[in-house]
A and B are shown apart, each in its own frame.
Chain A
């Protein structure tokens, strides 16, 4: 690589591409260094499906209104207040302007997917999903003269005083080094580095599945933290959901989700229930079940449903295990049979009148006299055949990241780093302390990617 570049963008997902396009449009010569090969480019963005967008009146595929205050309130609910209000409101406010910008850069939207009607007002779905968004952005970026190097792994950024003076990376088996005027880090969290995850979580992390890209190993993040770049967030905070236990270790994506928990009982490997399966509608609860399962022995859970509930949820990618008796199902799931029968008997005895059962809203069909209670959709598990799934913790992305200001700029204890910006999951911890709001990751990536691109280009020019 003999060419000289104004800006190097590290990473090849949504935030990186938004930054690269914005900077190129401002006249900067931009190079994207993407660790993944071309067919896996795009980081976790390739698995996404929508972006949460504030709007006044119908906008693109979005109906009605979604105000800044309502959006912010939704965010506060899921993060339990652990939110940087200033940056969060910046992201929310700017999101409205992002949607037409995304369309102008090749993204196409589609109506809310079947089974996701509850999001039709708040989340704009990409036609074809995140990989089609990534494809469109690569085409647009390359049209703007952005160069892309795949399988280019950044190993080190040299920080001298308040400047990054050198970017070191390997490509095609060779070490390279370059000194661009500006650097943008948009290379995600560290969830694919199982050792790091284990240091944060303990040995339990060995049993976690990673829902997205195997390429987000946090190499650049660790390198910068070692050099004193300011961080934000706790290493054990992440977006984690309960997914099908048979999912691949990496990259299982959306299809490994299971929506049947509210209609089930969930037990651990000792066949004991451990949490209220019917606490709230699933879209509001799926993100806590990752942590609940992580806290169980061997980090595994088992969902048990019966014939009457089979068609109440989205089809699963792997068919459920099926048996005519609970004993047989226990054998298939490798659970103690008598304990499972006892748990189911106790649960069934605690179920009351189920005539008000309503699968899509809180129906208060609850148990009485058992702990933990099931407070909605509590119907006896009684109608064979019985079905079972195993559940594992699926990590989407980690929150420990680079602390940025409203200009997406990174800093050390001594103040801002003049030519380093961060966008996307690698700085999402600056906004999200815990919890997660569907589609907010893409909002952060788009908003802060564009800001980083603008600032980096202004500095380079």
Chain B
């Protein structure tokens, strides 16, 4: 990892540790105040616990122009991205996308092109519905590796992370605690429950928390829809297309709506927020990722809406191309943060519940 980023985060953490005024805001500070010195692993863990809610920044009496020049959300977000990039596998891909929205756009174009090409070259093989455009076997052949390979990559990254932050063997209580924190996004609510400071300086609001919840739950619903379809296809011999009153459609439609609206809202908030209280280098990559995720949801809805029209094959290519790109980029874009955050929360539960520093 980059020494200069760690050195700056350490300098700031040492000032915070002598102050402690922000202790009640989030998970970062109780963890920080548990020790006196900060190893690289400690800082990596703190960085991944931080949700960039900015409560500590606006409350801080040492921000610029004060000579201490504290900007902890920025320092931690830079260490955070560096940790994702450093732990990622394979390395040549790791540093391409977090900081380059353009690279994400380019990847999307390639993903779409691949799908159009596949449709043209492989075609239906006699299926119905979407499978009339691209056969089920072809879809599986494309998406199975596109799903499995990123998971393997993430597993390798997370293993590296876990080692660097001194994690021990997992207990169920650690995991349930962490999942509970993530489900409520407690660290975006602040200790007082009024939300975070994001789109309007020091005003507390739940906008970012709710937008993020819409994205997370929207994504999970979409994922559940696909899983339900897979189970129905293979276990119950009920291939697509499915009617509206079916699990895949109900989950997919509600998830798609939440995902699309959440991503749109998040982009609006991100455009309003002060870029200097975060990792300015990741700004375009983050925005590109949210756009890609939102487009995956929107194109899914469009596919449903225009599924009976002439535009269906085009819509299918757009949607599958976006989803393919999204999956393949998961370990190398902001999407990775969900996995790292959960790991950091589990590690923090080991500290706070098990007393394992």
Are B21 and A139 in contact, with the CB atoms below 8 A?
no
Selecting from A9-17, A123-131, A260-268, A337-345, the interface stretch reads A123-131
B61 touches which one: A108, A127, A129 (CB < 8 A)? Answer: A129
Give the docked Cα–Cα distance between A399 and B252 (Å).
68
B19 CB contacts on chain A under 8 angstroms: 129, 253-255, 317
> Shortest beta-carbon distance, A334 to chain B, in Å?
24
Cβ-based interface call for A160 (8 A): no
Asked if A135 meets B23 with Cβ closer than 8 Å, knowing A253-B62, A311-B36, A315-B36, the reply is no
Asked if A39 meets B24 with Cβ closer than 8 Å, knowing A128-B59, A139-B203, the reply is no
Cβ-based interface call for A113 (8 A): yes
B21 touches which one: A113, A135, A317 (CB < 8 A)? Answer: A113
Cβ-based interface call for A314 (8 A): yes
Give the docked Cα–Cα distance between A315 and B16 (Å).
10
How many residues does chain A have at the interface if contact means C-beta atoms less than 8 Å apart? 33
Asked if A132 meets B15 with Cβ closer than 8 Å, knowing A108-B192, A127-B25, A315-B36, the reply is no
Are B24 and A314 in contact, with the CB atoms below 8 A?
no
B18 touches which one: A47, A125, A132, A314 (CB < 8 A)? Answer: A314
Are A128 and B22 in contact, with the CB atoms below 8 A?
yes
Give the docked Cα–Cα distance between A311 and B37 (Å).
11
Minimum-distance CB pairs A-B, first 9: A128-B59, A110-B24, A129-B21, A132-B59, A108-B192, A255-B18, A317-B18, A135-B202, A127-B24
B59 touches which one: A125, A135, A253, A254 (CB < 8 A)? Answer: A135
Cβ-based interface call for B56 (8 A): yes
Selecting from B63-71, B82-90, B313-321, the interface stretch reads B63-71
A127 CB contacts on chain B under 8 angstroms: 22, 24-25, 59, 190-192
B354 CB contacts on chain A under 8 angstroms: none
Cβ-based interface call for B300 (8 A): no
Are B14 and A315 in contact, with the CB atoms below 8 A?
yes
Q: Which of A49, A254, A315 has the most CB of B within 10 A?
A: A315
Residues of B within 8 A of A (CB): 14-15, 17-25, 30, 33, 36, 55-56, 58-68, 190-192, 194, 202-203
Give the docked Cα–Cα distance between A135 and B197 (Å).
12
Cβ-based interface call for A355 (8 A): no
Give the docked Cα–Cα distance between A108 and B60 (Å).
15
Residue in chain A with minimal CB distance to B197: A135
A455 CB contacts on chain B under 8 angstroms: none
> Shortest beta-carbon distance, B37 to chain A, in Å?
8
* Selected A-B contacts with CB under 8 Å, 12 pairs: A49-B21, A108-B191, A110-B191, A113-B21, A127-B191, A128-B24, A130-B61, A135-B58, A254-B21, A255-B18, A311-B36, A315-B36
Residue in chain B with minimal CB distance to A133: B59
Are A128 and B18 in contact, with the CB atoms below 8 A?
no
Are A114 and B33 in contact, with the CB atoms below 8 A?
yes
Are B65 and A39 in contact, with the CB atoms below 8 A?
yes
Residue in chain A with minimal CB distance to B34: A114
Which residues of A in the span 81-105 have a Cβ within 8 Å of any Cβ on B? Answer: none
A130 CB contacts on chain B under 8 angstroms: 21, 61
Residue in chain B with minimal CB distance to A256: B18
Give the docked Cα–Cα distance between A114 and B18 (Å).
11
B66 CB contacts on chain A under 8 angstroms: 251
A49 CB contacts on chain B under 8 angstroms: 21
Cβ-based interface call for A173 (8 A): no
Cβ-based interface call for A80 (8 A): no
Residues of A within 8 A of B (CB): 39-40, 46-47, 49, 108, 110-111, 113-115, 125-132, 135, 139, 248, 251, 253-255, 257, 311, 314-317, 319
B203 CB contacts on chain A under 8 angstroms: 139
B62 CB contacts on chain A under 8 angstroms: 253, 255
A111 touches which one: B24, B56, B68 (CB < 8 A)? Answer: B24
Are A47 and B59 in contact, with the CB atoms below 8 A?
no
Are B191 and A113 in contact, with the CB atoms below 8 A?
no
> Shortest beta-carbon distance, B357 to chain A, in Å?
13
Give the docked Cα–Cα distance between A115 and B19 (Å).
11
Give the docked Cα–Cα distance between A235 and B59 (Å).
33
Give the docked Cα–Cα distance between A251 and B24 (Å).
23
Give the docked Cα–Cα distance between A115 and B36 (Å).
13
Give the docked Cα–Cα distance between A125 and B23 (Å).
10
Give the docked Cα–Cα distance between A40 and B63 (Å).
10
B18 CB contacts on chain A under 8 angstroms: 254-255, 257, 314-317
> Shortest beta-carbon distance, B348 to chain A, in Å?
16
Beyond A110-B192, A316-B18, 12 additional contacts (C-beta under 8 Å) are A39-B64, A114-B20, A127-B25, A128-B21, A128-B56, A130-B21, A131-B58, A132-B58, A132-B202, A248-B67, A253-B61, A255-B62
A128 touches which one: B15, B30, B55, B64 (CB < 8 A)? Answer: B55
Give the docked Cα–Cα distance between A135 and B59 (Å).
8
B21 CB contacts on chain A under 8 angstroms: 49, 113, 126, 128-130, 132, 254
Give the docked Cα–Cα distance between A114 and B23 (Å).
8
Are A255 and B15 in contact, with the CB atoms below 8 A?
yes
> Shortest beta-carbon distance, A243 to chain B, in Å?
11
Give the docked Cα–Cα distance between A432 and B79 (Å).
47
Are B61 and A46 in contact, with the CB atoms below 8 A?
yes
B202 CB contacts on chain A under 8 angstroms: 132, 135, 139
Give the docked Cα–Cα distance between A317 and B65 (Å).
18
Are A115 and B25 in contact, with the CB atoms below 8 A?
no
Are A131 and B60 in contact, with the CB atoms below 8 A?
yes
> Shortest beta-carbon distance, B195 to chain A, in Å?
11
A253 CB contacts on chain B under 8 angstroms: 19, 61-62
> Shortest beta-carbon distance, B35 to chain A, in Å?
9
A126 CB contacts on chain B under 8 angstroms: 21
Give the docked Cα–Cα distance between A128 and B16 (Å).
11
Asked if A129 meets B22 with Cβ closer than 8 Å, knowing A135-B59, A255-B15, the reply is yes
> Shortest beta-carbon distance, A40 to chain B, in Å?
8
Q: Which of A110, A115, A126, A251 has the most CB of B within 10 A?
A: A110
Give the docked Cα–Cα distance between A278 and B62 (Å).
32
Asked if A131 meets B61 with Cβ closer than 8 Å, knowing A139-B202, A317-B15, the reply is yes
Give the docked Cα–Cα distance between A254 and B62 (Å).
10
Give the docked Cα–Cα distance between A128 and B204 (Å).
13
> Shortest beta-carbon distance, A102 to chain B, in Å?
13
> Shortest beta-carbon distance, B257 to chain A, in Å?
34
A311 CB contacts on chain B under 8 angstroms: 36
Give the docked Cα–Cα distance between A131 and B68 (Å).
16
Give the docked Cα–Cα distance between A114 and B22 (Å).
11
